[in-house]
Amino acid sequence: MRERLTVVKVGGKIVEEESSLLQLLNDFAAIEGCKVLVHGGGRSATKLAEQLGIESRMVNGRRITDAETLRVVTMVYGGLVNKNIVAGLQARGVNALGLTGADMDVIRSVKRPVTTIDYGFVGDVKQVNAGLLGDLIGKGVVPVMAPLTHDGEGHMLNTNADTIAGETAKALAALFDVTLVYCFEKKGVLRDENDDDSVIPSLTLPEFHQLQAEGVIQGGMIPKLENAFEALDAGVCEVVITSASAIHGREGTHIRK
Amino acid sequence: MRERLTVVKVGGKIVEEESSLLQLLNDFAAIEGCKVLVHGGGRSATKLAEQLGIESRMVNGRRITDAETLRVVTMVYGGLVNKNIVAGLQARGVNALGLTGADMDVIRSVKRPVTTIDYGFVGDVKQVNAGLLGDLIGKGVVPVMAPLTHDGEGHMLNTNADTIAGETAKALAALFDVTLVYCFEKKGVLRDENDDDSVIPSLTLPEFHQLQAEGVIQGGMIPKLENAFEALDAGVCEVVITSASAIHGREGTHIRK
């Protein structure tokens, strides 16, 4: 029987404030079995850039990453945020290993082609090498992944944390029974966006299409769910969309084939 | 037969300037067999601290690491410098893995006790866990180690890169035939400090004691050599003190039992 593996993605906000970080570390340490944590760090990056007089430019919620900004995110995501989480998990008996995509060539990406927008040093994931990563997880190591990849030509690239989580979950699905937990600011996919308690407990693809046709699910939730169903198609057992206070994945919206 | 392992320590200066970094990456990639790179990064840390308005205070060449400075070195050593080296080595076919002591609990340290000087968040190495590290090296992974450790209680600690290299070499000597190469600004241990070509090609402990008694070897070189002989006592096969342009360890001063 294959082992279960939980891949948890948390946004920047939760890992950047002392009190919510401590809660996250406790909650994540309590998850049983094999696990992976993927984190953001955008607010700290924006703050450091500001202190250094570097302007943060966002288009459609994505950071334009020029050379100076790449230095900032490499420091903040790969250094400050990542290592504080790793040290915090080690203190809780979790054998954490901080990784960017460059480390052990875990995630290789290509610099996003310039179309109408030049996102700069932003990477679109090309390949996840799950072999050594899977070995380590099998030995009790818990990868903590920063939203950075590399191009195989010596450059780090800024990469969306949701994508890192999704692609890593898909690649590890060849070796483990993977549950992918996306944490965000709501309790799950809501039936009524003005009612935080109107969480849809489970969703299949036909149900999603119907709710989309009815206009119940709209906006930014649509690509999130499309990614979730894509992960299921690629072998991930279950995707959960939930709040950061429920990273164990027992609440929220459970997405199954 | 045990495999050979080369542990190379390079200072901050060489990894912080574009041209010397590229040369280092090429030279390190060319070293055959198992290897580990340990790097500094002090100049970049001082520069970032300056940009952020944080004063860098040094006592006896050691950085006083207050909470703000710890954030800076965690970003610079663990993020910027480390990940650029890792990406650069990956581009040269070296399967590099960036590590701090917190990652996989590789190096645990204790915060240096306050005596006449309070060094702040500085760690003195307590224990190197060579098991998983040795496994990975055996699989072709090349650790790239930043001068940071952790205390096992959730805190990162700033740690001297020479010490990281020495302690890692000693721990890995249980698994490999280790050569430890310390690179610095001179070609080796000099017989005449004003003559850069007066390199002493080899040194045993009795020879060291004699040259020390004669006043030929003095100052900062004495603790460096004491550490080298300590490493030999702990099972390291050979220690080489050489310049960054000879990291292969064939030149410089060869220290043997």
Q: Quick one: pLDDT at residue B11?
A: 84
Phi and psi for A6 in degrees, rounded to 5? -105, 120
**Cβ distance A157 to A78 under 8 Å?**
no
CB contact under 8 A, A84 and B105: no
What does DSSP assign to residue B65? B
* B positions 194-213 inside 8 Å of A (CB): none
Give the per-residue pLDDT at B193: 86
Residues of A whose CB is below 8 A from B141: 104, 132
pLDDT at residue B152, rounded to an integer: 98
B148 in A contact zone (CB under 8 Å): yes
**pLDDT score for B84:** 97
Q: Return the residue in B75, B141, B159 with the most chain A beta carbons within 10 A, the one to mutate for interface testing.
A: B75
ipTM above 0.90, yes or no: yes
CB-CB contact of B94 with B142 (8 Å): yes
Contact B132 A136 (CB under 8 A): yes
Q: What is the pLDDT of residue A221?
A: 87
B134 touches chain A (CB under 8 A): no
| Nearest-CB residue to A100 (from B51, B83, B154) | B83
| Per-residue model confidence (pLDDT) at position A72 | 97
Instruction: Give the domain CATH number at A9.
Output: 3.40.1160.10
What is the pLDDT confidence band of residue A219, given thresholds at 50, 70 and 90? confident
> For the packed helices B18-30 and B82-91, what is the interaxial angle rounded to 10 degrees?
50
Domain housing B131: 4-255
Q: Which residue has the tokens 């334009």?
A: A64
From A41's Cα to the closest Cα of chain B, the distance in A is 13
Q: Residues 59-88, chain A: which have Cβ within 8 Å of B?
A: 71, 74-80, 82-84, 86-88
Of B149, B174, B160, B171, the closest CA to residue B223 belongs to B160
Mean pLDDT split into 10-residue runs, chain B, 257 residues: 94 84 95 96 93 90 91 97 98 98 98 94 96 97 98 97 96 97 92 92 95 91 90 96 89 93
> What pLDDT, on a 0 to 100 scale, did the predictor assign at position B18?
87
Question: Given an 8 Å threshold on Cβ–Cβ distance, is B91 in contact with A152?
Answer: yes
The residue among A42, A30, A34, A11 whose CA lies nearest residue A244 is A11
Residue B149 touches chain A, beta carbons under 8 Å: no
CA distances from B129 to B136, B167, B169, B224 (A): 12, 10, 12, 24
pLDDT of residue A61: 76
Residues of B in contact with A71 (CB under 8 A): 80
B154: chain A residues, CB-CB within 8 Å: 87-88, 90-91
- Which candidate in B70, B74, B145, B151 is best for mutational testing of the A interface (most A CBs within 10 A)? B74
Q: Report the number of distinct structural domains present in chain A.
A: 1
Nearest CA-CA distance, residue A13 and chain B, Å: 18
- E strand intervals along chain A: 4-10, 34-39, 58-59, 62-63, 96-99, 107-111, 123-128, 142-145, 148-150, 156-158, 177-184, 202-203, 238-243, 253-255
**Nearest CA to B9 among B24, B22, B23?**
B24
pLDDT band, very low/low/confident/very high, at A185 (cuts 50, 70, 90): confident
Judged by CB atoms closer than 8 Å, whether chains meet at B98 and A103 is answered as yes
Q: Give CA separation, A152 vs A125, A238, B16, B84, in Å.
A: 12, 31, 20, 12
- Identify the H or E element spanning B203: strand B202-203
What pLDDT, on the 0 to 100 scale, is given for residue A245? 87
Per CB-CB distance under 8 Å, the chain B contacts of A83 are 74, 78-79, 100, 102, 148, 156
Chain-chain contact of A74 with B79 (C-beta, under 8 angstroms): yes
> Regarding beta strands A142-145 and A123-128, do their DSSP bridges make them parallel or antiparallel, or are they unpaired?
unpaired
**A139-179 tens-digit pLDDT:** 999 999 999 999 999 999 999 999 999 999 999 999 999 99
CA distances from B116 to B58, B59, B67, B80, B119 (A): 14, 11, 19, 33, 10
Strands (E), A48-174: 58-59, 62-63, 96-99, 107-111, 123-128, 142-145, 148-150, 156-158
Apex CA B43: angle with CA B39 and CA B44, to 5°?
A: 85
| Average pLDDT score over residue span A126-135 | 97
Pairing of strands A4-10, A177-184: parallel
**Cα of B53 to nearest chain A Cα, Å:** 9
Nearest in space to A183 (alpha carbons), one of A113, A252, A244, A106: A244
Contacts of B51 in chain A (CB under 8 A): 51-52
Cα–Cα distance for residue pair A38/B1, rounded to 1 Å: 40
Question: What is the C-alpha separation between B64 and B32, in angstroms, rounded?
Answer: 38
Given a cut of 80, whether residue A40 has pLDDT beyond it is yes
As a whole number, the mean pLDDT across chain A is 94
Give the model's pLDDT for residue B61: 76
Residue whose tokens read 């690179």: B183
Residue A59 has what pLDDT? 87
pLDDT at B105: 98
Mutate to test the interface with A, among B90, B129, B133, B153 (most CBs of A within 10 A): B90
Q: Is the four-CA dihedral B111, B130, B143, B160 of positive or negative sign?
A: positive
B240 inside 8 A of chain A by CB: no
Q: What is the mean pLDDT of residues A79-95?
A: 98
Structure tokens at A242: 């939930």
Chain B closest CA to A117's CA: distance in Å? 26
